[in-house]
A and B are shown apart, each in its own frame.
Chain A
Amino acid sequence: MILNGSQILIEALKREGVDVIFGLPGGVVLKIFDELHQQSAIQVLLARHEQGVGHMAEGYAKATGKPGIALVTSGPGMTNIVTPLADAYMDSVPIIVFTGQVSTQLIGNDAFQEADNLGISRPCTKHNFLVRDVKDLSRTIREAFHIATTGRPGPVLVDIPKDVSMNTAEFEYPEEVNLRGYNPNREGDKTQVTRAAEAICQAKRPVIYVGGGAVFANAADEVKALAEIGNIPVDMTLMGLGIFPATHPLSLGMLGMHGSYTANMAIHHADLVIAVGSRFDDRVTGKTSEFCPKAKIIHIDIDPTSIRKVRDIEVHIPILGDVKTVLTELTQVLRVSIDGHKKNLRGPWWNQLREWMVQHPLAYSQSDDEAIKPQYVIDRLCRLTTDNDPIVATDVGQHQMWTAQYFKLEHPRRWLTSGGLGTMGFGFPAALGAQRAYPDRLVLCISGDGSFQMNLQELATAVLYKLPVKVAIINNHYHGMVRQWQDLFYEGRYASSHLFAIPDYVKLAEAYGAVGLRATTPSDVDVVIQEAVDTDGPVLMDFEVSQSENCYPMIPAGGANHEMLLEDPPHLSQAAKSLVRVSDDGDSVLTA
């Protein structure tokens, strides 16, 4: 079958099971869009900005586990999607970005809308390709899908020059991929698995520290089995939320900079840390030289570079392999070797954990006559929608951390957040991508007034495609996390963190043809949420919240995990000089 490059692209995508492309056209990709226009198997979902395109593909991929597909033009189209590429690279999201390129004979001539797409995207993709000959196109697409979705997933960019999209070739889609330099390891070493099982049997104070890698490996059942067989508490990273039910008695919630008191104390005092698909990010470890100082570490990961990456953190039992496969083996061995007697040894550990939970639970206060607390909004959002099993997207900042703390997720792939790169503007388009994948599910986007303004143009996309995402703006008129750091470490000088000009979000929603709702008092909150959930189509909820609320617990940068701030220090302006720290016995102490 002789096809032109654009038709080959479409046929190849069909073979890969693609039914939607998030895209934005431009000069050099007109042929591709023209061919897409003449078929109906693949929908083109037109966004308003290429950053939106990329995050939509990410949201789709995170929610479904299938790769998200993006198609943008050369030059500015490509540079605008660099942020989603970097975001996807950090958070291991399988997206495949097709970029237009100027015709092969023009490459390197500073042609109109030319950019070095390979050069620009090299450090923020798992791999990238420039297709110079239409004969290589179908094989390249096959390889791109293979690379994006196997091993540690990640973004792949395929750059298609205009002439390649128009030239013809015989279409044949390769069954096999032959990449001699790419062999992602799949199975864990049996000896290491046995060693890990022994360590778990002997541990008196074990903790599972599970991250996004377990989500991508679809290993929720295996994580649960490990926790339950071993009676082991579970700490989740920001990226891991949902992999283990938040309301499960073994769940300690999120750990790290804004993690729960118990999650952080647990990992600090553990004698065995079982790291599962997590990468010892600095927001998790705090001061690395004091990270779980008493623990042996088992690290299960598919990416060899993640193992023993952090200088001060020694990994005693590394297991390189697919998390799901390794955990299956590990739980099999454990089922045989662990006995009730050994589990009972952990009684004192659980007593200690429960004591910490009681001492410092996640808490906020809300009375009727004060401003709405942001935590209250998120708490209510969670409680009022929990029966819908919603997908929750967030942006980046205080609202993200509060959502991580208060929105109790029971299942994986319900949580769309930008962890590694911390991309403000991620949430709304990601929610739209997930909504496109699951038109009948409830998709929430919890955002901040700062973050939402970074990609609000996608309201048009939501309205156009009737994607009924419910956006909750936690509106405090600040870049709240910036303001919090300024409170704590810059003596309250709010340099460029107050946003001053805040749009009327209700009118904004209406201007786009969406529904806008506003809550200004605590009693409005439930009403607004209920109305939003009951409304067909996209809704923008503006929650006017307390402007001065800060997010705790917080491990100040450079602090160890047991050194948490639990509330605003008495004199915020002096906080930079004297941090309030919590000692091991739970008392707040001031240290110089």
Chain B
Amino acid sequence: MSVENIEREHIVSMRVENRSGVLARVAGLFSGRGYNIESLTVAPTLDPTISMMTIVTKGDDLIIEQILKQLNKLVEAISVIDLTERAYIDRDMAIIKVQTTPETRAEVFRIAEIFRARVIDSTNTMYTLEVTGTGRKVEAMIYQLQPIGIEELVRAGHIAVAREPYGEDTDIRSK
């Protein structure tokens, strides 16, 4: 098998037992073995005994292979999938407080519209915006708002899910 040494971002989707300590196991595994976590989200699924973790990590093929194997080895990991290997949909979310003056309020509002963000709070000197989308989209909006003045910014980690197949595309389903 040929192995590439190029570092790439991977999105790992993991179903784990919904118990205390599982997050610590996963985080400890990454820090203990020197792997990177770019972002991590965790929340319960429809089945309350199972949580879904979405981990964005970086590494070359060998490292990613080890990460997947190590995660799989955790007793409380029910399934581990590298979404990057298949078609998937991913979303980021950010809540951004932007300083406004009478001169900039319209501009901020226009940017929000372009990125389909919503104003979720407003004062005389501040808009609070909520945006969801791909990581690139969220970053693009932040980039445009920065010169106007971002007071505070909170970003949620990546969440992602495999795309459902359609038509003749049974290849994905078989995975």
Chain B residues within 8 Å of A305, by CB: 66, 69-70, 73
Most A CB atoms within 10 A — which of B21, B73, B76, B78?
A: B73
Q: Which residues of B contact A314 (CB under 8 A)?
A: 3
Taking a contact as CB atoms closer than 8 A, the residue among B16, B66, B74, B78 that contacts A309 in the complex is B66
Please, how many angstroms separate the alpha-carbon atoms of A314 and B62 in the complex? 11
Number of B interface residues at 8 Å Cβ cutoff, please give it.
Answer: 20
Q: For residue B92, give the distance in angstroms from its CB to the closest CB of chain A.
A: 28
B28 sits at the interface (CB 8 A): yes
Chain B residues 70-102 with CB under 8 Å of chain A are 70, 72-78
Give the CA-CA distance A118 to B23 in the complex, in Å.
Answer: 13
* A327 → chain B closest CB, angstroms: 23
**Which B residue's beta carbon lies closest to that of A132?**
B20
Q: B167 at interface (Cβ–Cβ under 8 A)?
A: no
Specify which of B24, B32, B72, B75 is in contact with A127 (CB 8 Å cutoff).
Answer: B75
* Complex: A527 Cα to B17 Cα, angstroms: 61
Q: Which of B24, B32, B69, B78 contacts A181 (CB 8 A)?
A: B78
Whether the pair B74, A181 counts as a contact (CB closer than 8 A) is yes
Cα A314 to Cα B5 with chains together (Å): 13
B62 in contact with A181 (CB, 8 Å) = no
Contact call A123/B69, Cβ cutoff below 8 A: no
Q: Contact mask A108-138 → B, CB, 8 Å, 1/0?
A: 0000000000110011001100100000000
| Complex Cα spacing A429 to B21, Å | 32
B133 vs chain A, min Cβ distance (A): 33
Q: A180 touching B70 by the CB < 8 A rule?
A: no
Contact between A119 and B24 (Cβ–Cβ < 8 Å)?
Answer: yes
- CB of A311 closer than 8 Å to a CB of B: yes
Q: Are A308 and B62 in touch, CB under 8 angstroms?
A: yes
B residues in contact with A127, CB < 8 Å:
75
Tell me if A182 is interfacial: C-beta within 8 Å of chain B: yes
Interface of B, secondary structure class, is helix
Question: What 0/1 readout, one digit per residue, does chain B (55-74) give for beta carbons within 8 Å of chain A?
Answer: 00000001001100110111
Which listed residue, B28, B62, B66, touches A122 by the CB 8 Å rule?
B28
**Known contacts A118-B21, A122-B24, A123-B32; A181 and B66 CB within 8 A of each other:** no
Closest residue of A by beta carbon distance from B2: A314
Residues of A close to B16: CB separation below 8 A: 181
A304: B residues at CB distance < 8 A: 69, 72-73
Complex Cα gap A304–B65 (Å): 10
Find chain B residues with CB under 8 A from A311 CB.
Answer: 62
Cβ of B25 under 8 Å from chain A? yes
How many angstroms from the CA of A303 to the CA of B72 in the assembled complex? 11
Per-position binary interface string of chain A over residues 497-526, scored 1 when its CB falls under 8 Å from any chain B CB and 0 otherwise: 000000000000000000000000000000
The minimal Cβ–Cβ distance linking A182 to chain B, given in whole angstroms, is 5
State how many angstroms separate the Cβ of B71 from the closest Cβ of chain A: 10
- What residues on A are CB-neighbors of B70 within 8 Å? 305
Is the beta-carbon distance between B78 and A180 smaller than 8 angstroms? Answer: yes
List of A residues within 8 angstroms of B24 by Cβ: 119, 122
Complex: A121 Cα to B77 Cα, angstroms: 18
Inter-chain contacts of A303 with B (CB < 8 A) = 73
0/1 interface trace, chain B 18-48, chain A, CB 8 Å (1 if under):
0001001100100010000000000000000
Closest chain-B Cβ to A139's Cβ sits at a distance in Å of 14
**Chain A hits for B28, CB < 8 A:** 122-123
Q: Is A336 an interface residue (CB 8 A)?
A: no
A305 to B35, CA, bound (A): 14
* 20 A–B contacts from the bound complex (CB under 8 Å): A118-B21, A122-B21, A122-B24, A122-B25, A126-B75, A127-B75, A180-B78, A181-B16, A181-B74, A181-B75, A181-B76, A181-B77, A182-B75, A304-B72, A304-B73, A305-B66, A305-B69, A305-B73, A308-B62, A314-B3
Besides A122-B28, A181-B75, A305-B70, 13 more A-B contacts (Cβ < 8 Å) are A122-B21, A123-B32, A126-B75, A130-B21, A147-B75, A179-B75, A181-B16, A181-B17, A181-B74, A304-B69, A305-B73, A308-B65, A311-B62
Binding site for A on B (CB under 8 A): 3, 16-17, 21, 24-25, 28, 32, 62, 65-66, 69-70, 72-78
